[in-house]
A and B are shown apart, each in its own frame.
Chain A
Amino acid sequence: MATNDYIPHAPGFVDNEGPKIVSSRFGHADSFTLERYEQTGGYQAVRSVLAGSTSDAAQLVKDAVLLGRGGAGFPAGVKWGFMPPVWPRYLVVNGDESEPGTYKDRLLMERDPHQLIEGCLIACYALGLNTCFLYVRGEMAEAQERIGTALNDAYDAGYVGRDMFGTDVAIDIVLHWGAGAYIVGEETALIESLEGNRGMPRLKPPFFPAAKGLYMKPTIVNNVETLANLPWLFTNGVDAYKEYGSERSPGTRMLAVSGHVNRPGVYEVEQGVVTFRELFYGDNYCQGIRDGNDLKMFIPGGGSAPWFFEEQLDLPMEAADVGSAGSMLGSGALVVMDETTDAVKACLRIVRFFARESCGKCTPCREGTTWEEQILQRILDGNGRPEDLDLLADIGSQISPGEYPAAAHPEAGLTAVPFPPKQTTICPLGPSSVAPITSAIRRFRHEFEAAIAASPAAPESDPEQRDAVVEVSA
């Protein structure tokens, strides 16, 4: 790459009109400092929780229907209830945000680390535990620095650690930096990594973290955004919280929009109310597709989500509705692609990510994702074969048996296949690689066929390359 190429920063937060629950301080230049946090009502919620009773706090989270913001959207209060009465027990904060397209947790950690810390304290107290591990993705240098500073300040202020806020409660928050692996965003892999092992998922069952998690003790793993909601929720109460969003999904979500829109960025959006069309085209949000182009497809929930198209634009961003329409809201990452996008290249781009990030544990994922990548690359290199499309479909069904979730395609007479996919693997990484392939071929088969038709002939493998011995290890 030429040195004078300008690499723009990832888009940041867009301070638009609308309710602000977790991004209320983002407008301040010093939003990450303890002073600003306290000036704006910080650390009041945890004080009041400490004055109340534990069961109250847990019940409040349940009543508020606080949905997990990591991807699965499971109610946090219900998850908290799964813990058997066993001590020690742990809270683990999943700050290993790495789903392609997602960058909202990074902003929450960079811009308002104390809000997250306070959320952790409330959760620890509610769960009756005193050790919280904050796992921050390895690449997020600024987030690590901001959280590290904030934690030091909070410890110095007596808000974390022994005798916090002058009570006899002691809660420790341990900051842990990841080493940079996508799969560690999966909660059991994160626990493995936290224990010092290679980040590989554990099979559920028997290792449901709530019962057997970190060090085989009961462990709640919550997403950064989920916990960042707690200070506001405990300050303003359930009713105020439920005023926002839909009945099934109260509150707001941080949505990261990237791709071919005029104003990409992270938006705090009321859950289950705003439609995709409003988000992409609304003046308060992304303000339309770039250059007035037509929308070709969009990914509603991060790289692992099946693609949506024009027909799904009027769906509200409600988890159940999106699921039955054949995809997922996931971690709140939306990638918009306009008509200039090459479907085959877009497909390869995402599949390659999963192939490179496969942890290597389950055979179908380790071998299947790489095989998919190799076939797609070969098609783009002009060496495609007509049978490659069936082969891709077969490989997909060997990683994810049965019909793969997909959006309806009325023109072709195809109805929606609801989420989630089945899997022959432990975690959903392998099946995720099938999403772009199924979505792209189902909708844009002609583009693949055109690429294959342009291929001169079946490939001859280069004998020199075949016999070459490549030493891969360092």
Chain B
Amino acid sequence: MTATENQGTEAVTGVPFNLNGRAVHATDGELLIEACERNGVHIPRFCYHNRMKPVGMCRMCLVEVDTGRGPALQPSCMLPVTPDMQVETESEVTKQAQDGVLEFLLTNHPLDCPVCDKGGECPLQDNAYAFGPGESRFIEEKRHYEKPIPISDLVHLDRERCILCDRCTRFASEVAGDPLIHFIDRGSQTQVNTFPDHPFSSYFSGNTVQICPVGALTAAPYRFKARPWDLEAIESTSTVDATGARVVLQSSQDELVRILGLDSDAVNWSWLSDKDRFIHEANRSENRVTEPLARVDDGLQATRWGDATAKVATALQADASRIAVIGGARLSLESQYAWAKLAKGVIGTDNVDTQLADGLPAALALGLPRATIDEVCAPGGVIVLLGPDPKEELPSLSLRIRHAVIEDGATLIEITPRATSLSDLASVRLRATPGIVGQVLVAIANDQLSADVGGVAASDLQAAATLLRGERPLSVVFGRANLAESARYTADAIGAIRSIAPDASYLPALRRGNVNGALEMGLTPGFLPGGVRNSAEVGVEHWPTTPEFQGADTEGILRAAADGNIDTLILLGADPLGDVPDAVLSASAIENVSTVIAVDSFLTDSSSKADVVLPAAMFGEADGAFLNVEGRLSPLSAKVTSPGLARPDWMIAAEVSLAMGDDLGFGTLDELRQEMSAAVASLADVDWPGLSSADDGPVLRPHRNWDLEFGKPADAPPEPKSGLRLLVDRKLWDAGTMTAESPSLVGLAEPAVLRLSPSDAVGLNLVDASHVTVEQGDESYDLPFVVDESVAPRTAWLPIRLPGFDARKLLSSGGSVNSIQARIADGLTDDDAGDGGEPTAESEDTSDGGRQ
């Protein structure tokens, strides 16, 4: 993308070579196949993929090359251009070689194109028209395999169609780091397969389907759903997580049927997580809210938009300080602005928070100097990971970091409470016990490197200090690593890094969709759009008013609501009952609020308790913009019609405002965008119409570098008198609404497992046990457990919420670090464990935390 533009100018000073008698240039080190492409000559290929290392396997890209020793056939995908190379892509010898390879590939290919999903967009089909003989000379028996075999819940493999290009297998091992598929057997019986009893259960398995040059790999959700020539397509951005992976939405008959990764140089390099790729199933869910609902007696009943908004308007007549808004990360940037204007600029409440008490202070995300993904992953840099496992929360970002460390010489410092998918790549791993991470970095900042801190060895502190204080560019990927400890400790750690490395730049690893847009648009207490701190002196152009008080964050809002101090609570696509770590508090809050208004696409735990539900358009149903983790603006595109009476969120805000008697001042998306550019300084120069055609999208870089006051670091939390400190975090496949509404994804969550250190396994006498009982107050669970050496002693690591399991019942807010009691499960040993005793007390390989 942008690289292509640059290459145009570089080529003049690049490597001269001769292409079919024409003098052209390649860039330094450029592969011949790329250099030819850039100079207008397409060389056919199957195994070559620009985002993976070449293997020279298919031999389709053979061309005649003369480097001074006479012409010879060379695979152009593996040959860097050297000065004055003579290249013949159309000679008789080249053509004969390419024709020959194509004929060979077709000898055993089943030619079942009419019933193949790939038919119509198949590189083999396309090349068969351009190369090789028109009729096959192969009269022997073709090879046969069982057709097709599922190699995971999402991917099917038809080995008869496979041309053994090594793309999927290379992707699995090189890009994803999940080497679960491989070649077996040899000769013409060579085939791709999984290892026995190990399905291809990678978070990234869908990418193999996209890069398969034939129909050998097909995605279970798409099989036989559509033909390529019937598909309509539009470029958009995935809202599954904050990475903002660029995608192509494809629809047939007004239904989203497929999402493909878009090769964005700056963001996701065409790779998607399976969640990005298959989440569109939720759009078609039967459980969509398709019309406004209002509570009548004990139930929700369909009503008209006018009646619904009138009800909402009435509920919003309360005193501004008794009105609160939670959520908004699901919304487009425009909708976020519209709701911010309604809440803060019209109603005048500052009780607005997009984060659900599971994030970090907004000032950290807004005010620290921001790094782009490219800057974080720049060759030779140092990356600090201070947060959760990116593979679980921001999977496509984790692939970029992985590549940077493996291929580009970046160095990773991992400051996480447990092993992550990147641990193997980290040069230094600081594993602080829960609540201690701030102390660890303060010790480095104060040069106290001679003693262990919070379970981190002095030698590791020294190694980290050397890298943190070194000359190489430093970027910090930070997020909330442990939902059972206060966000305060992470903030302390960042404060310490600020003093150790003042020039470091930051990438906030907050996970939820467009959360960065929501923060930028002011859906957080104390801020107005554009990262402007709210005060009596500032206002926003086009806004009638601004809040006259400092509002509360989500935890504060819920506490106020539980205490009866909130009358009306608006849930913008938020499900506090399902997502806020303190489930008891959110239940009490929803109970005690007089009116709950939900703007949502589904009846979640929370929205089903609402008094009014306003149906919102989903991803793929409304145009807008997305602000990703690095502050890059990219388009969200409408491809299908939203069902029933659902409409875009910004329109709902405008309708509600009208019902209250206030015109928000925009009736179309264009008018809304014009106002945003005028009202928000960071959006002043945005070329809105050009957004959808811009390659990677502009990065909003307000060059903020606030002088944040971090205060005195919190003291170490007291060691629990008994029991284990809790480490609670998220898995990609969890009990979230969108996953639950996608039939192909709902079964992918793994059962909950408790992980604990070897010493605790011994201490709790678990050696012969398979299950452990954890309890806090009246709540208790029997869980299988795994011994994990990356978990600190006296710590228990749990996933927060999976189908059938909810660790939040063990949590309470307000404390510093939560803890639980644990004991051997009564009467459960290996022999009588019901589920076959999958997890064992044996020390297992913890290099990747045992996660896939």
Instruction: Map CB proximity to B onto A402-438 as digits: 1 under 8 Å, 0 otherwise.
Output: 0000000000000000000011111000000000000
Instruction: Map CB proximity to A onto B129-160 as digits: 1 under 8 Å, 0 otherwise.
Output: 00000000111110111110000000000000
Please give the distance in Å from B112's CB to the nearest CB on chain A: 13
Which B residues, 53 to 86, have Cβ-Cβ distances below 8 Å to chain A? 55-60, 62, 72-73, 75, 78-80
A281 at the interface (CB under 8 A from B): no
Give the docked Cα–Cα distance between A465 and B140 (Å). Answer: 11
Which chain B positions have C-beta within 8 A of A470?
143-145
Partner of A357, one of B80, B105, B184, B186: B186
Please give the distance in Å from B128's CB to the nearest CB on chain A: 14
**Are A469 and B186 in contact, CB atoms less than 8 angstroms apart?**
no
Which chain A positions have C-beta within 8 A of B79?
205
- Chain A interface residue count, CB cutoff 8 Å, equals 45
**Are B164 and A360 in contact, CB atoms less than 8 angstroms apart?**
yes
Residue in A closest to B104 when the chains form the complex, CB atoms? A367
Partner of B141, one of A357, A397, A465: A465
**Are A471 and B141 in contact, CB atoms less than 8 angstroms apart?**
no
Which chain B positions have C-beta within 8 A of A205?
79
Which chain A positions have C-beta within 8 A of B144?
468-470, 472
Which chain A positions have C-beta within 8 A of B143?
470, 472
- Chain B interface residue count, CB cutoff 8 Å, equals 48
A198-B183, A356-B187, A363-B59 known; A378+B140 contact, CB < 8 A: yes
Please give the distance in Å from B298's CB to the nearest CB on chain A: 58
Which listed segment binds A: B93-101, B383-391, B517-525, B727-735? B93-101
Which B residues, 179 to 194, have Cβ-Cβ distances below 8 Å to chain A? 182-191, 193
B448 at the interface (CB under 8 A from A): no
A424-B59, A461-B139 known; A364+B78 contact, CB < 8 A: no
A466 at the interface (CB under 8 A from B): yes
Give the docked Cα–Cα distance between A24 and B553 (Å). Answer: 89
Which listed segment binds B: A50-58, A153-161, A169-177, A368-376? A368-376
Which chain A positions have C-beta within 8 A of B57?
361-363
**Are A424 and B100 in contact, CB atoms less than 8 angstroms apart?**
yes
**Are A203 and B145 in contact, CB atoms less than 8 angstroms apart?**
no
Which chain B positions have C-beta within 8 A of A8?
none
Partner of B145, one of A363, A375, A394, A472: A472
**Are A203 and B75 in contact, CB atoms less than 8 angstroms apart?**
yes
Please give the distance in Å from A378's CB to the nearest CB on chain B: 7
Residue in B closest to A470 when the chains form the complex, CB atoms? B144
Give the docked Cα–Cα distance between A466 and B101 (Å). Answer: 24
Please give the distance in Å from A421's CB to the nearest CB on chain B: 12
Which B residues, 279 to 326, have Cβ-Cβ distances below 8 Å to chain A? none
Which chain B positions have C-beta within 8 A of A378?
140
B108 at the interface (CB under 8 A from A): yes
**Are A360 and B186 in contact, CB atoms less than 8 angstroms apart?**
yes
Which chain B positions have C-beta within 8 A of A397?
96, 100
Instruction: Map CB proximity to B onto A336-377 as digits: 1 under 8 Å, 0 otherwise.
Output: 000000000000000000011111111110111111001100
Partner of A471, one of B55, B60, B145: B145
Give the docked Cα–Cα distance between A364 and B191 (Å). Answer: 16
Give the docked Cα–Cα distance between A471 and B108 (Å). Answer: 16
Partner of B138, one of A198, A371, A398, A423: A371
Residue in A closest to B145 when the chains form the complex, CB atoms? A472
Give the docked Cα–Cα distance between A367 and B93 (Å). Answer: 20
B264 at the interface (CB under 8 A from A): no
A355-B187, A360-B190 known; A198+B139 contact, CB < 8 A: no
Give the docked Cα–Cα distance between A360 and B189 (Å). Answer: 8
**Are A370 and B188 in contact, CB atoms less than 8 angstroms apart?**
yes
Partner of A424, one of B97, B184, B188, B190: B97
- Residue of B99, B166, B188 most packed against chain A (CB within 10 A): B188
- Residue of A205, A363, A378 most packed against chain B (CB within 10 A): A363
A473 at the interface (CB under 8 A from B): yes
Partner of A358, one of B99, B103, B186: B186
Please give the distance in Å from A168's CB to the nearest CB on chain B: 30
Give the docked Cα–Cα distance between A329 and B281 (Å). Answer: 64
A355-B187, A357-B186, A473-B193 known; A367+B105 contact, CB < 8 A: yes
- Residue of A367, A369, A398, A471 most packed against chain B (CB within 10 A): A367
Which B residues, 191 to 209, have Cβ-Cβ distances below 8 Å to chain A? 191, 193
A181 at the interface (CB under 8 A from B): yes
- Residue of A360, A371, A422, A461 most packed against chain B (CB within 10 A): A360
**Are B140 and A375 in contact, CB atoms less than 8 angstroms apart?**
yes
**Are B187 and A401 in contact, CB atoms less than 8 angstroms apart?**
no
Residue in B closest to A369 when the chains form the complex, CB atoms? B187
Which chain B positions have C-beta within 8 A of A468?
144
**Are A360 and B187 in contact, CB atoms less than 8 angstroms apart?**
yes
**Are A466 and B141 in contact, CB atoms less than 8 angstroms apart?**
yes
B107 at the interface (CB under 8 A from A): yes
Residue in A closest to B137 when the chains form the complex, CB atoms? A391
B810 at the interface (CB under 8 A from A): no
Which chain B positions have C-beta within 8 A of A356?
186-187
**Are A363 and B193 in contact, CB atoms less than 8 angstroms apart?**
no
Which A residues, 137 to 171, have Cβ-Cβ distances below 8 Å to chain B? none
Please give the distance in Å from B844's CB to the nearest CB on chain A: 21
Please give the distance in Å from A335's CB to the nearest CB on chain B: 22
Which chain A positions have C-beta within 8 A of B190?
359-360, 366
B163 at the interface (CB under 8 A from A): yes
Which chain B positions have C-beta within 8 A of A394?
137
**Are A398 and B103 in contact, CB atoms less than 8 angstroms apart?**
yes
Which A residues, 426 to 469, have Cβ-Cβ distances below 8 Å to chain B? 426, 459, 461, 465-466, 468-469
Residue in B closest to A181 when the chains form the complex, CB atoms? B186
**Are B73 and A424 in contact, CB atoms less than 8 angstroms apart?**
yes
Give the docked Cα–Cα distance between A369 and B97 (Å). Answer: 16
Please give the distance in Å from A205's CB to the nearest CB on chain B: 8
- Residue of B59, B60, B72, B75 most packed against chain A (CB within 10 A): B59
**Are B182 and A198 in contact, CB atoms less than 8 angstroms apart?**
yes
**Are A363 and B60 in contact, CB atoms less than 8 angstroms apart?**
yes
**Are B147 and A469 in contact, CB atoms less than 8 angstroms apart?**
yes
Which chain B positions have C-beta within 8 A of A206?
78, 80
Give the docked Cα–Cα distance between A369 and B183 (Å). Answer: 19
Please give the distance in Å from B147's CB to the nearest CB on chain A: 7
**Are A422 and B185 in contact, CB atoms less than 8 angstroms apart?**
no
Give the docked Cα–Cα distance between A417 and B142 (Å). Answer: 35
**Are B97 and A366 in contact, CB atoms less than 8 angstroms apart?**
no
Give the docked Cα–Cα distance between A466 and B146 (Å). Answer: 13
Partner of A371, one of B73, B93, B140, B184: B140
Give the docked Cα–Cα distance between A368 and B187 (Å). Answer: 10
Please give the distance in Å from B549's CB to the nearest CB on chain A: 63
Which chain B positions have C-beta within 8 A of A198?
182-183
**Are A366 and B140 in contact, CB atoms less than 8 angstroms apart?**
no
**Are A355 and B56 in contact, CB atoms less than 8 angstroms apart?**
no
Which chain A positions have C-beta within 8 A of B193?
473
Please give the distance in Å from B773's CB to the nearest CB on chain A: 42
Please give the distance in Å from B33's CB to the nearest CB on chain A: 13
Which B residues, 762 to 788, have Cβ-Cβ distances below 8 Å to chain A? none
Please give the distance in Å from B445's CB to the nearest CB on chain A: 38
**Are A357 and B187 in contact, CB atoms less than 8 angstroms apart?**
yes
Instruction: Map CB proximity to B onto A382-399 as digits: 1 under 8 Å, 0 otherwise.
Output: 000000000100100111
Give the docked Cα–Cα distance between A287 and B825 (Å). Answer: 82
Which chain B positions have C-beta within 8 A of A369?
187-188
Please give the distance in Å from B524's CB to the nearest CB on chain A: 49
Task: Please name 30 pairs of A and B residues whose Cβ atoms are closer than 8 Å in the assembled complex, sorted by A.
Answer: A198-B183, A356-B186, A357-B187, A359-B187, A360-B164, A360-B183, A360-B188, A361-B57, A362-B56, A362-B59, A364-B59, A366-B164, A366-B188, A367-B104, A367-B108, A367-B188, A368-B104, A369-B187, A369-B188, A371-B140, A391-B137, A398-B100, A398-B104, A422-B73, A423-B73, A424-B62, A424-B100, A459-B139, A471-B146, A472-B189
Given contacts A366-B188, A375-B140, A472-B191, 14 further A-B contacts (CB under 8 A): A198-B183, A203-B75, A358-B186, A361-B166, A362-B56, A364-B100, A366-B104, A366-B190, A367-B104, A369-B188, A398-B100, A399-B100, A422-B72, A473-B193
Nearest first, the 6 closest Cβ-Cβ pairs linking A and B are: A360-B190, A398-B100, A367-B104, A370-B188, A374-B140, A358-B187
